[in-house]
Chain A
């Protein structure tokens, strides 16, 4: 189906236009409708691009391509070049879906000054759609930073405990990561000799002329730490649990679910294909740090009493898998990372959403002060259990997570067998903290504090206004879990085309001598 407009541009501009409209003095009801449309349109367009993704598209090609000159095309090679390939299409769709859920959840929330709140969220959403729709890596970066000021204000004004500190810490970390990656991108821009930020042109230029080993090494190093900080790579992760805990739930959903995937996506789409030798050189270090995410942060997550903090640490732990997939430096690992990102984005935002719903019913995030909530809110308990199982990666609700992690594990196994052991340990760890949280919050006898809370507040089950956003996430998650080919087919094609030169250098062992154990 041919739309009469450019779906990608509209998906970016619709939330921004809605944000602008919210500044006008509208009645509250109209404002909510406008905001809802601003969130709905990107989601629909995301699904549209997925459904109508051309099956006959060449691997290196982009669908839905369009080019807009913002004035610097001739002089600096910067232009708003939009398009989707097999790697970015699933992400774009996921961003739309998570945005819709976060938006619906925000609309029903009783935030003060709701119009400004929704406007800032819509600005975030516009940036998110732009990140994955951009072929031009300048705009890829640009859209990631797009919502930084909005996020800062959202966390600081509508956040929970420690919000001022958390907002500041988060912003400083994110800027550090962004500046390092910016230098890395500038290095690619200047040293490739292409003098353009257009990914297609860069790819062609580098395929012909190549990049010297030194340049690849430092450019990848800059990107690894820059993007790593943005994705909370161990030991630069401390901002994430703190920030996600303090942020209002919709911001946590958008940030942990989608915006944070920017870094991993940057690895898969840009850093690995353009800098294969640099990636191979840095891969061992990256693998070790990623194991730090999985094992150390996993243990930290187990130790949490605070539900939201636990989910935050859990999300930091899980991105370790993403880094492990990247550290394999091959198409299999990269494909696993994309599947994992889609699954994790959906499941972690579901968890954040439900955690806030739990908070509304118990008045606390402290799991020791809860218990027995399942008697009062069975539907919430069912949703929560599903989300937990999904984030552990159990086939069932978490089928998509399972596919992602399985692919990554296979890539790791082919790469360095021993590393599968600590990686699998991560699955056990997430089962421990997830199920333990389930037990503490929903089962058993209500704690004294929760009983006291119930005296004053009636505890109701999940309302429909909360169920709908949760269902949006869950249906998408399960749907693609059952039918992963819907996204893996274009993904395979793109990876096969983009990654052959990566394959050539990947036999470098990712880890010390143990990797070459006799089989």
Chain B
């Protein structure tokens, strides 16, 4: 081999483009090796290695944020590297760091193998990062399945807890259904787009661009329409949009709290990361896509908020309120068809949602007792007096989720609403506003449970006081993390600055 050939090979080496994903996978494998190599006493070190390693990758990603291959496709069009993709990669890595941190606190109270948790979290994250750059239905499906299969394990991770097992089974069954729908939709699109008898057909009908060109050339094709709706349905499962939200309350409750947070933030974002490019691919069928998503968005907002109203278990409450957030975001997705600024608004919304959700989940893991599925609003009685710091973080997180100024969640909502107004989605905006008002009741109900003195019925004599689980002491890393998350919610609400402007200019 001559030196020129080697140089050519090196220049055409596209593996470097997915270096962060590969490194994450290697780090994940390394954890398993370390578990074997390290003596038992030193196992406590492994989560630290995982977290520090991921932080290192995150910093590396941010330093090399605008690589040379940006805007190109690699791997024969399987991947397309965009600034949105870079943002999402950082987003997923960041949430994975936080999930690992949550895992350290939550697993300390369980007698479970610990290292596998971090391993699977990282593998799932790597798959999500690929997903965010998918430019081909095949890769989309493979990456999405990697994520979903990882979550099957994570959801039923506390296998001694029947609720966790039940959640795992529910997630498996409904996840399999949605994968089936998605696959069927993809196959239909593949079939019609590859039909040489039709105009604009392609020899590579799995590629996004090929499908888009085909759809633009064949408006009103019935099979393609069915395919589009099925693909949208499959993605709707990921983001938890009505009518594919059925799994959410039970799975959110049963899954270990870190996994619930992972599902709520990263998995939902992955859904939107898939949906936005797909909506662009399907844009020739605007009416169909808009109608489908509009019905979904309206129903999702109303269902999520109304169902969350009656919840006492905070994990279910967060799950259902997360459904309504998916609804608001769908509003942005519909608007993105006509208003370019909507995409940035969605990314900002998700960023605010990440900060607020992890703040709330971070407080939750510290309150939860040995039974992770049993986390009730009543456990927060006198919380503000006993744990003022945690209560402050909780109030900021919930306020941001409710979308109250001066917190970041409000900016996210405002920008999405502006985009929706520009796209003239007046009815949906009306529904969204009703939803926001309803959501005040349960978000502030939670603040109320934590801050206000509650009257409790006197106990029958002789009965012991039903003890709320004693909150875990906040370790220094978590104290810092919670402070950063809460401060982030406040700062990005007041001053978006260059970072906010950058996110919004996507």
User: Using a CB–CB distance below 8 Å, which chain A residues touch chain B?
Assistant: 70-72, 74-76, 116, 138, 141-143, 145-146, 148-149, 152-153, 156-157, 163-164, 167-168, 171-172, 175-176, 179-180, 182-183, 186-187, 189-190
Contacts and interface: CB of A to CB of B under 8 A. Distances in A.
Given A149-B395, A179-B436, A180-B433, A76 B448 contact: no
Contact of B497 (A71, A143, A164, A182): A71
B429 A149 contact: no
Contacts of B451: 153, 156-157
Nearest to B398: A149
B418 interface: yes
A152 B444 contact: yes
B441 interface: yes
Given A157-B451, A175-B440, A75 B395 contact: no
Contacts of A182: 414, 417
B404 A70 contact: no
Nearest to B345: A76
Given A70-B497, A148-B399, 10 more contacts: A75-B341, A75-B504, A76-B418, A142-B410, A145-B405, A153-B451, A157-B452, A171-B440, A172-B440, A179-B433
B191 interface: no
A464 B341 CA distance: 58
A145 B504 CA distance: 23
B468 interface: no
B422 interface: yes
Nearest to A187: B421
A171 B441 CA distance: 9
Interface in B417-439: 417-418, 421-422, 429, 433, 436-437
A168 B421 CA distance: 29
Contact of B496 (A70, A149, A152, A186): A70
B480 interface: no
B405 A142 contact: yes
Contact of B437 (A76, A164, A179, A189): A179
A265 to B, nearest CB: 17
B496 A145 contact: no
Contacts of A186: 414, 417-418, 421
Contacts of B414: 138, 182, 186
A244 to B, nearest CB: 18
B504 A76 contact: yes
A171 B501 contact: no
Nearest to A141: B405
B501 A71 contact: yes
Contacts, number: 98
Given A72-B496, A72-B501, A190-B421, A183 B433 contact: yes
Given A75-B504, A183-B429, A190-B418, A172 B447 contact: no
Main secondary structure of the interface of A (DSSP, over half): helix
B462 interface: no
A141 B429 CA distance: 18
B500 A71 contact: yes
Given A146-B405, A168-B444, A190-B422, A175 B501 contact: no
Given A171-B444, A180-B433, A189 B418 contact: yes
Contact of A167 (B344, B405, B429, B448): B448
Task: Specify which of A72, A143, A146 lies most central, judged by the most chain B CB atoms within 10 Å of its CB.
Answer: A72
A315 B451 CA distance: 29
Interface string B395-421: 100010000111000100011011001
A145 B400 CA distance: 12
Q: Which 4 A-B pairs have the closest CB atoms?
A: A71-B496, A145-B405, A71-B497, A156-B452
Interface string B490-506: 00001111111100110
11 contacts: A75-B344, A142-B406, A146-B405, A152-B448, A156-B448, A157-B452, A168-B441, A175-B436, A179-B436, A182-B414, A183-B417
A172 B433 CA distance: 12
B399 A172 contact: no
A223 to B, nearest CB: 14
A186 B331 CA distance: 16
B77 interface: no
